[in-house]
Amino acid sequence: MSEFRIDQITNQSGSRGPDIAGITTFTGTSGMVMPSGATEYRGGRGRGVFGGGATPIVNNIEYITISTLSNSYDFGDLNGVNSYTGSCSSSTRGIWGGGNTPSAVNRIDYVTISSTGNAFDFGDLLGVRHELAACSSNSRGIFGGGFNGSISLQSIEFITISSLGNSSYFGDLTSTKRSTSSCSSPIRGLFAGEFPKTNTIDYVTITSTGNAQDFGDLTQSRGYMSGCSNSIRGLFGGGYTPSSSNVIDYITISSTGDSIDFGDLTQARFNTASCSSLVRGVWFGGGTPTRQTTLDFVTLATTGNATTFGSLISARDSISGCSDAHGGLGD
């Protein structure tokens, strides 16, 4: 094996040694930047993945790169056809819990977001449920609400995303919530809206356990919408009122209070899914009630109407998405 001698390295002119920098920047013409930060955050992040849905019910997983504008690409398959799941993620893993196959199930699937391929078995929820919502920090995933085939549910469950295993009881939402939506910061998880149509927003502290508390209200009572966030601001878009909605609301996650109008999706639709980076929020699919291939995006820090991002491989609704760069993971 050849020897690598640091004392033999010079700059381009040979007049001095190299510049070496850590997390700071430098302006020299030669230099070496040492990696910094947690290893799972290095390299390219910003991939959104979304799986299942109804076309009728499918198991397909597709992905996008959130920073670009393009159509989605094939990722792999869930462990069976599924729709109305709740999805959450860390910077490495994407998780889908519960769902409708067309009967309610309790299975949890996971993928490694940076790769492509079929999902693996993670464990089980405490009980069967679909039309649930999920949010997460980088370590813990939270599942709340849903419908078990007979009644709407109030319970919240949690998992440790880096491990494998069944979920555990967390607490209860302020009321039963079916077809609710969610988003998170690293500290708080929010659950908003409900079918047939309510405007309430609940919140929990992700690192603890306990019952949810009242956060405020949406600008419009609705269910079957979807949420996304950076670490500061949460957005909820689309939904059913009982007609298709194009409304996007936003809240400041660290405070409490009613949501504020952000803008509109490119078309009114419900049963959408969404994901985000720290810069962009993306909504995909949904029904008008006709199933759509639409991908929309907004810049989270601003307000305004959504812009077309691209298209799904196939039209579907009742889909669920997550990303490796959302607000629950921090900056």
What are the chain's domains?
A: 48-329 (2.120.10.80)
**pLDDT for 114 beyond 90:** yes
Residue-wise pLDDT for 63-105, tens only, equals: 999 999 999 999 999 999 999 999 999 999 999 999 999 999 9
The stretch 287-313 carries a mean pLDDT of: 97
* Per-residue pLDDT, 26: 44
Find residue 250's DSSP bridge partners.
235, 260
Residue-wise pLDDT for 135-189, tens only, equals: 999 999 999 999 999 999 999 999 999 999 999 999 999 999 999 999 999 999 9
**pLDDT for 5 beyond 70:** no
DSSP-derived secondary structure for 97-147 = E--BSSSB--EEEEEETTS-S--EEEEE-SS--BS-EEEE-SSEEEEE--B
* Per-residue pLDDT, 330: 86
> 271: Cβ–Cβ under 8 A, 6 or more apart, which residues?
54, 224, 240, 285, 286, 287, 317, 318, 319
Q: Where do we find the tokens 């996304």?
A: 228
* Per-residue pLDDT, 7: 55
Task: Please state, rounded to an integer, the average pLDDT across all residues of the chain.
Answer: 91
Whether 45 and 324 have beta carbons less than 8 Å apart is answered as yes
Name which residue leads in pLDDT, 181 or 28: 181
* Per-residue pLDDT, 14: 61
The stretch 281-287 carries a mean pLDDT of: 97
* Per-residue pLDDT, 44: 55
The stretch 308-313 carries a mean pLDDT of: 97
